Chains A and B, each alone.
Chain A
Amino acid sequence: MRSAVSSLIVLSALLALPAQASEPADENWGEDDWAEDSWAEEEPESRWHGFIEAGTGQRIHNDPAVGRAETLEDLRIRIETSGFHGDNSYVLKGDLLLDGVEEQAGIDLREASYSMTLSDSWDLKLGQQVLTWGTGDLLFLNDLFPKDWQSYFSGRDTEYLKAPSVATRASYFGDGANLDLVWIPDFTPDRYINGERFSYFSPVAGRNVAAPQGRIDAKQPDNRIANSEWAARLYGAVSGTEWAVYGYRGFQPQPNGVNKSGEPVFTRLDVIGGSVRGALGQGLANAEIAWHLAEDSDGDDPLLPNDQFRFLLGYERELLPKLTLGLQYYLEQTLDYAALERSSASPYNPHEYRYLYTTRLNYRMWQDNLTWSLFVYHSPSDDDQFIRPSVSYRFDDNLSATLGANLFSGKRPNTFFGQFEEGSNLYGRLRYAF
């Protein structure tokens, strides 16, 4: 906690200067005195921006496996620039992160990309970049691009749920349909729960384990061309309804297989799927399906994940002015379930049908400066839930604060959300953007 407090002090000291420095600029935005320079700022080819953010988070229960109360102790400095090189563009975006929980300092390069227009119908984007597609709201069926569950569970900005990868993205834009082709030469896994910040349930131990003994450090597949990741999306729209077909070849994004030596490994994964999204009544409806074709296609190896069928239905609408409601139903069916049951008598086998509902409520007030948000995952099949309330306030165009919680609970120790019950936390973040 001490380091979080000291980082807040450092932050407020840093804030004092830019806040004062920005005063005269504000004067220029007075009633009849629009500053000419403000228009000029629109045009330069390149400019530097970023933010400084301090975040702190505390467990609300004691976790004997981890032993420390802090779940978030960040001091983060973001520096970014973007610009044009002819009609091509570049983006450079990196975070200098002092992480008090993992007791390390490092650079998280969020983006270093170059985008080219090759012809009227082809774009190419090269380099470190975040990639996202699919229709789910905080649920992923066909989006196998890397995610950062440690950030998501500890209360960092939602932006950090997506982790970057070094990729080549080629996009074709046609009359009836568009195509995205993504090649990630070196397999990039999720930043998964590895026992460092949060403990996780070990079916071998029959209880939660954490670092150092329980640390998962899975070896990645060799960096060979045959082990690179490929993803494709063919998409279009017919009278306001968007459709998409997806394909993926790569690996399970988390090391959820076990090799003969008992070590966690990333196993092969191919995915095909599709989605539709369109207006329905006064809201938006979406549906998405995906088949996850895993390495254990017969389902009889208890150490490797089985094939899965995934299904999502969602609906979102504005309930009242400024109040948005989103509902989703999500199903994960383990295929070849009989074979799994025959080969494994573990009490921790997944359910054949794991399903859950999500509810989102967002409410904006005070000229959109105050935002209340609640996102709840509730799984009747696993009897567990993950509740994410938060409130954000913009003091002005530069300074904002967020308070929130990540509340896990469940009836059983081994379920997806239930295992993180003792990782439940409260967090706060203060950000100065420039």
Chain B
Amino acid sequence: MLNRYLKSALPVLTSLMLSVSVQAADMTDAESIVKQANLASYYRGADGRSEARMIIEDSQGRKQQRQFTILRRDHEEGGDQQFLVVFSRPADVRNTVFLVEKHAQGDDDRWLYLPGLDLVKRISAGDKRTSFVGSHYFYEDVSGRNLSEDEHRLISTDEQFYLLENVPKDPGSVEFSRYRAWIDKATLLPMKIEYYNSNDKLYRRVEVLKTDTVQGFPTVTRSRVSDLISGGRTTMEFRFIAYDLGMDSGVFSERSLRKPPRQWLKRPQ
């Protein structure tokens, strides 16, 4: 009993100690901040599962929904990752499964399983800054942007945030000219990111609306992307999150595309 208590308390304690130490001495190196923020956002635990749902609203307020369960496994911290996304809503994508081998360097490998045709379709590496399943989120917002693609500069540090200015090394490859990220000093989660276009007009905002601590890890549970030009926006919520489930690499394979892995998809008890 004591042992179990200690086990569950330990990560909490560790993360408390970490946040204390972070607060005690502000970081000053932009590269280390973005590296830590990347780990905090996309690499918590060796693997994880979550259910997610989105409301997509266009400029006229018309709404669409998406609902899916997402499984993730890291090959290495800060490096390559695997994702399996199983859709349950809406009707036209129900039981569609999406598999990604994310490569920190180079293009991702992506597959889509279409159950009506029993077709495992490999998808060519696409622009990562296009809509994820029709929402205002980009693929890159969901799986992370390669840190080496931007120059990062620490502009200011206040009580709560590190404010970073980021400029793409290859401006032709992206739709923005720069973006600013407000990174929470305690959790190292980016709480707000604002993108500017080539006319230096603010046109896109990604913001965290709610975080929770799950197994000791500060975790985003609600966020929103707003298209400030069209007025459209997407709100995404995560629930039933669990880390360090012990999934092996085989969970992320053609076998799971055709027969989604019940063991990991069902809600943790």
Contacts and interface: CB of A to CB of B under 8 A. Distances in A.
Interface stretch (B14-22, B26-34, B112-120, B188-196): B112-120
Contacts of B255: 123, 171, 173, 178
Nearest to B55: A29
Interface stretch (A129-137, A183-191, A292-300, A411-419): A129-137
B107 A279 contact: yes
A117 B256 CA distance: 12
Interface in A314-338: 316-318, 321-322, 324
Nearest to B126: A318
Contacts, number: 122
11 contacts: A34-B237, A51-B91, A159-B117, A173-B253, A240-B101, A279-B107, A324-B126, A367-B131, A397-B64, A398-B90, A433-B90
A398 B91 contact: yes
Contact of A131 (B67, B118, B124, B263): B118
A142 to B, nearest CB: 14
Contacts of B56: 367
A426 interface: no
B239 interface: yes
Contacts of B134: 367-369
B92 A39 contact: no
**How many A residues are at the interface, by size bracket?**
35 or more
B107 A132 contact: no
A394 to B, nearest CB: 7
B130 A321 contact: yes
B232 A173 contact: no
A171 B255 CA distance: 9
A85 to B, nearest CB: 10
A158 B124 contact: no
B58 interface: yes
B53 interface: yes
A39 B122 CA distance: 30
B109 interface: yes
A279 B109 contact: yes
A65 to B, nearest CB: 31
Nearest to B263: A87
B166 interface: no
Interface in A195-252: 240, 242
A162 interface: yes
A254 interface: no
Given A87-B262, A324-B124, A368-B134, A433 B92 contact: yes
B122 A277 contact: yes
Given A87-B262, A132-B119, A158-B117, A321 B127 contact: yes
B118 A397 contact: no
Given A279-B124, A396-B62, 17 more contacts: A31-B235, A39-B240, A42-B51, A43-B267, A87-B263, A130-B118, A132-B120, A159-B114, A159-B116, A240-B109, A277-B122, A282-B125, A397-B91, A398-B90, A398-B91, A400-B92, A434-B91
Interface of B: 51, 53, 55-56, 58, 62-65, 67, 69, 88-92, 94-95, 101, 107, 109, 114, 116-120, 122-127, 129-131, 133-136, 232, 235, 237, 239-240, 250, 253-255, 258-259, 262-263, 266-267
Nearest to B123: A284
Contact of B67 (A42, A117, A277): A42
A171 B253 CA distance: 13
Contacts of B126: 318, 321, 324
A82 B90 contact: no
Contacts of B91: 49, 51, 397-398, 433-434
B69 to A, nearest CB: 7
A368 B92 CA distance: 13
A29 B124 contact: no
Contacts of A240: 101, 109
A283 B117 CA distance: 23
Nearest to B129: A321
B124 A282 contact: yes
A321 B131 CA distance: 10
B118 to A, nearest CB: 4
Contact of B53 (A31, A38, A49): A38
B262 A162 contact: no
A158 B117 CA distance: 8
A321 B175 CA distance: 11
A110 B67 CA distance: 25
Contact of A368 (B94, B114, B129, B131): B131
A287 interface: no
